Amino acid sequence: MGSIGIVAPTTMHFAEPLPLQSGTQLGDYTLMYETYGTLNAERSNAVLICHALNASHHVAGTYADAPKNIGWWDNMVGPGKPVDTDRFFVIGVNNLGSCFGSTGPMHVNPATGKPYGAAFPLMTVEDWVSAQARLADRLGIDQFAAVMGGSLGGMQALSWSIRFPERLRHCIVIASTPKLSAQNIAFNDVARQAILTDPDYHGGDFYERGTVPKNGLKVARMVGHITYLSNDDMAEKFGRKLRDAAETGIAGRSDYKFDFGVDFEIESYLRYQGDKFSQYFDANTYLLITKALDYFDPAREHGGDLTRALAGTRAQFLVASFSTDWRFSPERSREIVEALVSNRRQVTYAEIDAPHGHDAFLLDDPRYMGVVRAYYDRIWEQIPAQEAA
C-alpha cells in the first residue's frame, strides 16, 4: 500500500453548450480531471470520485512541481488503498464554477472578453453531474463500477443514481444528506452575506479591480469550519487553552489580553484557517457552491417524497455517516437509507462512531476505511474477467 506517486491533470474542452437547471447554458467550457490506475479492456472498472466544497480533481498523488500538494483523498485512493488503483480506474473531475481548473467565474467569458465574475451562471449538483456524464462519454465509459463522494460529493453520487441509473453499478454516499436543513442553509447564508458585503467583492467583478474580498472569505470559512468539527473534538483539541500559555508552556502565563487579538487557541486556529483559505479560494466559487448545496433536493420535484425520487435508481448503495457529524448528521443519511430500502434497493449502511464531526469523511478512521475497503472488494468481485484488468 503506497501513494500513487506523481500525477498530472488533464483538460477536456467541450464546444457544445451545457444546458443548466437555471434555464441558461454554459457554452464552450473546459473540465480539468485526473485519472489513476488503468481502464480495463471491458471499460468496467471505472470509478468516479466527486469532490466537495473546497476540493478538486486532485484526489490522490502529488505533482512533480509541487510534491507537497497531495490529493485530498490520498488516504482513500491509491495502490492497495480502499479504492485500489491496482484494480480500478479512478477519475477525479473538477466541477464547473470551481477555482481549481475547470471553467469558472475567474475565466474569460467569450461573450465579453472579460472574466465572467458575477455573470458566471449558478450551477446545481445536477448540472455538475451532466458535465461529468459528458466527460464519461468522451472517455468511453458507459457505466461506472462506482460513483463515490463525501458531503457535497455524496450529493453528486446520489444524483448520478437518479439521473443516470444505468450508468453506475454502485453509488457510494458518505457524510451526506438528501437536502440541507434550515440550519445548514442559515450557516451558508451567513457565509454569503460576509462575502457579498465585503467592499472588495464589487458585486462579483473584483478580478478587474485587482481586489480580493479576503475578509468576507475569511469569515465565511471560519463559520463553515466550525460546522465541520464536532463540539467534542473542538473541546478536546482546543478547549479553553490560551495561545500564549500554550506557546510558553508556562501554566501561570495564562492571562487574558483584554483586547481583540488572540486569547484562545481556537481563535488562532480558526483565523489561520480562514486567512489561508482566503488566499487560495475564489469568492464567486464559494458563493456558487453554497447555492448548489442549498438547492440540492432531489425529492422536491416529487412533492418532497424521497422514496419516489429514488424509485428509478438501479445501483447498489453504500451509505456511511459519522456519529459526531452535526452538519450532516447520521439521521440525514438514514433518510436516504430508508428511502432506498422502501424501493427495495440493495443498501449497505455504516454509521461510524468517530469523534471528528463532518471532517471525519476525509480522515483515517480504521473502521471507516475498513468499511469502504470491504465494499470495494465486493465491487471488484462483481467485475467479470477481473484478471484482465
- Tell me if 322 contacts its own copies by CB under 8 A: no
- Tell me if 219 contacts its own copies by CB under 8 A: yes
- Tell me if 19 contacts its own copies by CB under 8 A: no
Instruction: Show the site string, 63-102: x = touches its own copies by CB under 8 A, - = not.
Output: ----------------------------------------
28 noted as active-site residue: no
Task: Restricting to residues 271-290, name those near its own copies by CB under 8 A.
Answer: 271, 274, 287
- Tell me if 295 contacts its own copies by CB under 8 A: yes
Total residues at interface with its own copies (CB under 8 A): 53
268 noted as active-site residue: no
Stretch that binds its own copies, among 71-79, 170-178, 250-258, 362-370 (CB under 8 A): 250-258
- Tell me if 133 contacts its own copies by CB under 8 A: no
List the one residue from 51, 170, 218, 358 that touches its own copies (CB under 8 A): 218
List the one residue from 10, 38, 69, 183 that touches its own copies (CB under 8 A): 183
At how many degrees (to 10) do helices 214-228 and 265-280 cross? 120
Shortest Cβ distance from residue 347 to its own copies (Å)? 24
Instruction: Show the site string, 39-58: x = touches its own copies by CB under 8 A, - = not.
Output: --------------------
Stretch that binds its own copies, among 71-79, 179-187, 310-318, 371-379 (CB under 8 A): 179-187
Q: What is the 3-state secondary structure (H, E, C) of the chain?
A: CCCCCECCCEEEEECCCEECCCCCEECCEEEEEEEECCCCCCCCCEEEEECCCCCCCCCCCEECCECCCCCCCCCCEECCCCEECCCCEEEEECCCCCCCCCCCCCCEECCCCEECHHHCCCCCHHHHHHHHHHHHHHCCCCCEEEEEEECHHHHHHHHHHHHCHHHEEEEEEECCCCCCCHHHHHHHHHHHHHHHCCHHHHHHCCCCCCCCCHHHHHHHHHHHHHHHCCHHHHHHHCCCCEHHHHHHCCCCCCCCCCCCCCCEHHHHHHHHHHHHHHHHCCHHHHHHHHHHHHHCCCCHHHCCCHHHHCCCCCCEEEEEEECCCCCCCHHHHHHHHHHHHHCCCCEEEEEECCCCHHHHHHCCCHHHHHHHHHHHHHHHHCCCCHHHC
221 is annotated as contributing to ligand binding: yes
Closest to its own copies by CB, 235 or 388: 235
170 noted as active-site residue: no
- Tell me if 122 contacts its own copies by CB under 8 A: yes
169 is annotated as contributing to ligand binding: no
Instruction: Just list the catalytic residues.
Output: 151, 325, 358
Bind-site residues: 221, 359
Contact residues for its own copies, defined by CB under 8 A:
22-23, 121-122, 179-183, 185-187, 189-190, 192-194, 196-199, 215, 218-219, 222-223, 226, 229, 231, 234-235, 237-240, 254, 256, 258-260, 263-264, 266-267, 270-271, 274, 287, 291, 294-295, 297, 300
